[in-house]
Amino acid sequence: MRLTEQQARIIKAQVVKEFGREAKVLLFGSRVDDEALGGDIDLFVETNHPPEQALKAEMALYAGLQRELGEQRIDIIVHRAGSPLQRVHKEALRTGVELE
């Protein structure tokens, strides 16, 4: 995983701040591959929030991460727990690493 421990802690703390402790966050994509170079930070967040609340939390999460991590390319995929999984959700769940 190509995040420092500090970056992982910051991400998890921001997810908890915006989505609550019950939210699950995974890092997926190129940053999971220790051999890859570059790449954006791809995050999968699973929540029980209703759609309107989830959107507000997602925007606040993005802003908080930019503030705490410095300017980064960050993609956030939010999935409502129990709703149908799209292809990107399945890929994130299959290949992602949960941040704890």
On whether the CB atoms of residues 43 and 27 are closer than 8 A, the answer is yes
What pLDDT sits at residue 93?
95
Domain count, the chain: 1
Q: Is 79 helix (H, G, I), strand (E, B) or coil?
A: strand
- pTM to 2 decimal places: 0.92
CATH code of the domain containing 92: 3.30.460.10
pLDDT digits (tens, 9 = 90+) for 32-86: 877 777 779 999 999 999 999 999 999 999 999 999 999 889 999 999 999 999 9
Distance, CA of 10 to CA of 88 (rounded, Å): 24
SS3 of residue 14 by DSSP: helix
Tell me how crowded residue 90 is: count the other CB atoms within 10 A of its CB: 10
What domain range includes position 81?
A: 5-98
Look at residue 35 in the predicted model and tell me its pLDDT: 72
CA distances from 84 to 27, 29, 64, 78, 79 (A): 20, 21, 28, 12, 9
